[in-house]
Amino acid sequence: MANLKDLRNRITSVSSTMQITSAMKMVSAAKLSKAQDAITAMRPYSEKLTQLLQDLSATLDDDASSKFAEEREVENILIVAISSNRGLAGAFNTNIIKAVRNKANTDYPGKNVEIYTIGKKADDILSRNFTIYKNNNEIYDELTYDKVAEIAEDLMQLFLEERYDKIKIVYNQFKNAATQIVTEEQFLPIEKFDTEENKQLDYIFEPSKIEIVKELIPKSLKMQLYKALRDSFASEHGARMTAMHKATENATELRDDLKLSYNKARQASITNEILEIVGGAEALSN
């Protein structure tokens, strides 16, 4: 059994850790509330924009297809891996890294796969085995639509220049504080939308339908990337809050166990001292 001093030191250490994890949980909870409000507010707009683009694209001839929808033989692939800059978020970053590795090795064997890492954690690990096209850690300092639009424009230009034949996004989709879903989306080329027979659209087009679609596609791509980053941002704080909650519970349980061991050791020490005193008294009386 450990001595009393060691037990006291361990109890102090665990109590300090518990205070830190509890504070981190509260900070993540506050940030999660704001991030959740942001992603909840933008989802209806994003979904409506996608629906409008689908409705219009479904009525266009193939000749009017956008250059962003061009299908090419896939040789060069870029995977946008969205992670976080900080750890202590459970399996949040690990799941993204595993998904990217699996996709690159299973779906595109023998192809040239490069990674665009958003977040320090993905860059630290994936740079060991893959070619990193670019890393962006600063986006979380100011996660605005304009900043994300710059990244989306860079990706669109890479596709138009035929540097990459396909661009994929891998990120954690936010469901709730305890659940994050690893999601893979195709960014470019844009996927062809399903058409409904004899679909009638109650729209008045000004200017032409083709011009509207060409204007909507870049905006839709920017919104797709912005939504993915907002989802990932909310998921990060949800995962960290859950991880810190579990860590606090474990620390509390460990502290209680250590206190019980300390009390038992202290009781045993007192009992031994009493026995020694009684033994000494008996020896003197004899």
- Looking at residue 61, its pLDDT comes to 56
> What rounded mean pLDDT belongs to the chain?
86
Mean pLDDT for 56-78 is: 74
- Of these ranges, 46-60, 152-166, 202-216, the one predicted with the greatest mean pLDDT is 152-166
- Looking at residue 199, its pLDDT comes to 54
- Could you tell me which residues come within 8 angstroms of residue 91 by beta carbon, excluding any fewer than 6 positions away? 239
Burial of 243 (0-12, 13-18, 19+ CB in 10 A): buried
- Looking at residue 142, its pLDDT comes to 87
- Looking at residue 84, its pLDDT comes to 95
Check residue 90 and give left, alpha or beta (phi > 0: left; psi -120 to 50: alpha): left
> In the chain, what percentage of residues exceed pLDDT 70?
90
109: helix, strand or coil: coil
Domain ranges of the chain: 26-242
pTM above the 0.85 mark?
Answer: no
Nearest to 98 by CA among 87, 106, 108: 106
Neighbours of 121 (CB within 10 A): 22
Bond from prior residue into 189 cis (ω within 30 degrees of 0): yes
d(CA 72, CA 166): 8
Q: Which long-range contacts (CB under 8 A, 24 or more apart) does 173-179 make?
A: 173/231, 173/235, 174/35, 174/36, 174/39, 174/231, 174/232, 174/234, 174/235, 174/238, 176/238, 177/32, 177/238, 177/241, 177/242, 178/238, 178/242, 179/238
Better-predicted residue by pLDDT, 159 or 212: 159
Nearest to 168 by CA among 88, 237, 111, 90: 111
Task: Name the token pair of 26.
Answer: 């509260």
The DSSP code for 89 is S
Sheet strand arrangement including 166-176: 131-136, 112-118, 76-82, 166-176, 179-188
Measured N-to-C along each axis, helices 209-285 and 92-102 cross at an angle, to the nearest 10 degrees, of: 130
Asked if residue 228 has pLDDT above 90, the reply is yes
Task: Name the token pair of 29.
Answer: 């909870």
pLDDT tens for each residue of 82-123: 999 998 899 999 999 999 999 999 999 889 999 999 999 999
- Looking at residue 266, its pLDDT comes to 86
- Looking at residue 71, its pLDDT comes to 84
Mean pLDDT for 219-240 is: 93
- Contact in structure between 113 and 79 (CB atoms under 8 Å): yes
- Looking at residue 57, its pLDDT comes to 63
Q: Which CATH superfamily is domain 26-242 in?
A: ATP synthase, F1 complex, gamma subunit (3.40.1380.10)
Asked if residue 63 has pLDDT above 70, the reply is no
- Looking at residue 197, its pLDDT comes to 47
Least confident of 3-7, 118-122, 190-194: 190-194
